Chain A
């Protein structure tokens, strides 16, 4: 599946579906969420556009600019800020692990977005599916917390555990 999504595609996806992405993923974890939301609250723009895009809760391990291991991080740490990030950017997909809370589930329904899980700890496998680093933003946050723009090919299994109709697994 392409990583540029829209409402029509989102509506067709249900919990239990397994997605493989080809295209662009933006890594965003704790500090990137905080910085993005703080900028957007002030009415400022982000240096990258997340509209209709997929973000990945991940702090990758790189050797130079080669991705060596890049599995998902625990999504629940981003629970407090995710609703706001979805609302303010129009992002359409989130890949992480461990599931998210009610606040995010409601946001997925309201703003037509999905949440997926990549098998936790399978970092080497994830890196195998990441073909290229296209860009990196906010590297001053430290490499694990920066926003890495990855070009991916058949990235998955991404298991849909929260869909846009309020359904969730667990």
Chain B
């Protein structure tokens, strides 16, 4: 194997769906001790579920999501799109992953998770011969309560905080809390959304390198946890496992904001090819 083939992508999807990243699992174990009553019962079930899914090699959640690919590669790997399509087709049967992709008008499901613009792949050009594929599987429960705001610049950081808190409050127990909040600030509308997804790809204990964003992340974690929504909305100390911000410069008249809500089952994984060998990393 000298770069990325279908086998390794199917293998990555299996690990993506059946095993949670270590940082998320560690955080869930940590917050379990803080919860009591129904919230504690719910977190116990979540942890039991994670272990059982890993042992049995079955998907953690039946909503195996829309699997999104963030690819960095050079032009010589132009076949990668075909390879990913074939991997998705195989993963539906082999992992298995649920056939989630439908026609938005007729709701027809062709059963392969393929279709117009599917699988969703974002390409970024890299000239060094390396390939990096970050993969995110996100379910609809949390995607459905995510929101984009085009705020007035005068609203400032205070306006950003209000919009984030309002989004989380309205989402309540629906997105399977404890949640991870990926936030994109700036850019334009679609870049803010893209950045919010990139924020979800970051390890949850890694704060933003930019001080203003870092402070905002810390303040938001505290304020969201003060809402008391708790695991599955049963009340409690933990509503968010993390808040991560990615940002870009923006138009002088705009303040784009995307609040991307992610359920506790943050399923992300990466495939790296360094010019010699290919490996799956988390």
Question: Does B263 make an interface contact (CB < 8 A)?
Answer: yes
Question: Does B115 make an interface contact (CB < 8 A)?
Answer: no
B46 and A119 form a contact (CB under 8 A):
yes
Interface string of B88-108 (1 = CB under 8 A from A): 000001001111101000011
A125 and B141 form a contact (CB under 8 A):
no
Question: Does B33 make an interface contact (CB < 8 A)?
Answer: no
Q: Which residues of B contact A145 (CB under 8 A)?
A: 107, 109
For chains A and B in complex, what number of residue pairs have CB atoms within 8 angstroms?
A: 134
A69 and B62 form a contact (CB under 8 A):
yes
Q: Interface residue count for A (Cβ, 8 Å)? A: 39
A128 and B38 form a contact (CB under 8 A):
no
A125 and B174 form a contact (CB under 8 A):
no
Q: With A121-B176, A159-B38, A170-B233 in contact, do A71 and B99 touch (Cβ < 8 Å)?
A: no
A143 and B233 form a contact (CB under 8 A):
no
Residues of A participating in the B interface, judged by any CB pair closer than 8 Å: 16, 18, 31, 58-63, 68-71, 73-74, 76, 97-99, 117, 119-128, 141-145, 157, 159, 169-170
Question: Does B52 make an interface contact (CB < 8 A)?
Answer: yes
B59 and A98 form a contact (CB under 8 A):
no
Q: With A59-B62, A61-B98, A144-B100 in contact, do A99 and B42 touch (Cβ < 8 Å)?
A: no
> Which one of B64, B232, B233 contacts A61 once the chains associate, using CB atoms below 8 Å?
B64
B96 and A68 form a contact (CB under 8 A):
yes
B171 → A minimal CB distance (Å): 9
B188 → A minimal CB distance (Å): 30
Q: Which residues of B contact A76 (CB under 8 A)?
A: 174
Determine the main DSSP class of B at the interface with A: loop
B112 → A minimal CB distance (Å): 11
A127 and B58 form a contact (CB under 8 A):
yes
B38 and A122 form a contact (CB under 8 A):
no
Select from chain B the residue with minimum beta-carbon distance to A143. B99
Q: Which residues of A contact B111 (CB under 8 A)?
A: 142-143
A18 and B96 form a contact (CB under 8 A):
no
A-B CB proximity, top 9 nearest? A142-B109, A124-B53, A120-B176, A122-B49, A123-B62, A119-B45, A69-B62, A125-B49, A61-B62
Known: A120-B173, A145-B107. 7 other contacts (CB 8 A): A71-B61, A97-B141, A125-B45, A125-B52, A144-B99, A159-B41, A170-B235
Interface string of B215-235 (1 = CB under 8 A from A): 000000000000000001111
Q: With A68-B58, A123-B61 in contact, do A169 and B234 touch (Cβ < 8 Å)?
A: yes
Select from chain A the residue with minimum beta-carbon distance to B233. A170
Question: Does B76 make an interface contact (CB < 8 A)?
Answer: no
Q: With A142-B102, A143-B111 in contact, do A123 and B233 touch (Cβ < 8 Å)?
A: no
A69 and B58 form a contact (CB under 8 A):
yes
Question: Does B247 make an interface contact (CB < 8 A)?
Answer: no
Show 6 A/B contacts (Cβ-Cβ < 8 Å), sorted by A.
A60-B98, A69-B64, A73-B141, A74-B174, A117-B232, A123-B60
Q: Which residues of B contact A120 (CB under 8 A)?
A: 141, 173, 176, 232, 263
B33 → A minimal CB distance (Å): 18
Residue of A59, A62, A98 with most chain B CB atoms under a 10 A cut-off: A98
B131 → A minimal CB distance (Å): 29
Question: Does B172 make an interface contact (CB < 8 A)?
Answer: yes
B49 and A98 form a contact (CB under 8 A):
no
